[in-house]
Every structure is written in C-alpha cells, then in structure tokens.
Amino acid sequence: MRVTSRATTRPTRARWGARCVGLGLTTALAVTFGAGPASAQPGPQLMAEVAPVEYTAEVNPDCVDINGFTLEVDTDDAPVDGEVLNFSSGGQDGTITLGVTEGDQGQLLSFDFGVDSLFAAGAVIVKGGNNANIYDYRPTMAGQIEADETLHAPINPSGGFADLSHVAFCIVPDGDNT
C-alpha cells in the first residue's frame, strides 16, 4: 500500500490558502473603512462655562432652531480678533466684543457683552467645518452669560478644531442688568 502525503496536503494547503485570502480581504476592508475620516466630535469643554454640543445637519443652525430664540446676531464671516458686533433690540443698543486666539488644537473664541449691557447670550453657535458646536447657557444658574472664553468649532478629521467660519449669538435680555 502506498501512502502519499500529497493527497492530504493539498486540501490542507488549499484550506490555508483560502484562510489567508479571507484574512487578507478582511484586513483590507478593516483598513479601508477604519481609516476613513473620523466622524466629527464637539471636542472638550476647556475653560468655557458649558460643554459644547455638536449640531450635525445639512444646513447651518440658526438661533430659531435652538428652542426658538428670536434675536440672533451673526458674524456672517469668520470672526476676527477684536471685532465688535453692534445690534439693537427694543430700542436698546448692544455690542459684543470678540476675541480669536490660536490654541494647541486650533482657533478659540471669546466674547464679552460688557459690564453694563442690557443683553446676554442664551446660546452661542460656533460654526466650523461641516458642523457646528452649540454652547447653550440656559441650563446654567443664570440661564445666560455676558462673557465666555475658549469656545471652538467641532473637531475635524485631522484631530484639531475646525477653523471658525462664523458665529451666531442667541441674544436674551440680561436679567442682571434689566
């Protein structure tokens, strides 16, 4: 009786070959889909009074989209350090002074309504990249804020904050000064 190892070796080799091909395809798919752009995230709170919440939609959010704020002041373009936004509501004038600085992860925004302002922010929408971060101050004790710092756009696929493209302030009467 003649025993050959080929009869049993070929199916074993074929099975191992199929396994290697399967493993190779699985690895290729994992690398292809796993290494794609990461979904954006709001990013850390840093020193801001409230944590950002990412807004992902096909259109840019407005203050009306955030629980019906009726007064919005928008930069229209990328905010500039030292920029002053002037607005009027109910016969009263208001200003918002902006600060834009460069942090370790990208651009950071600060704002100040001024000590004697009759207005404050109920929420701020910071747009950058494909999404926006919403800083909603209504849950805070005062339900509003006159100044804040280190606001930023969502994290982009490279891991840093997206560049600021525009900012919208959802304005409310300042309960401390009215």
pLDDT digits (tens, 9 = 90+) for 21-77: 444 433 333 333 333 333 457 887 788 889 999 998 788 899 998 878 999 999 999
Walk across the sheet containing 84-89 and list its strands. 84-89, 92-102, 107-112, 147-151
Q: Are residues 64 and 26 in the same domain?
A: no
Position 100 in a domain = yes
State which residues form the domain around 22: 1-36
Is the confidence at residue 12, as pLDDT, over 90?
Answer: no
Global confidence as pTM: 0.75
Residues 85 and 13 placed together within one structural domain of the fold: no
Ramachandran category for residue 91: left, alpha or beta (phi over 0 → left; psi -120 to 50 → alpha): left
Residue 147, Cβ neighbours under 10 Å: how many? 17
- Model pLDDT for residues 115-144, shown as the tens digit of each residue: 889 999 999 999 999 999 999 999 888 889
Q: Residue 48 in 3-state DSSP?
A: coil
Residues 159 and 125 both lie in one domain: yes
Pair (76, 128) in one structural domain:
yes
Q: Does residue 79 form part of some domain?
A: yes
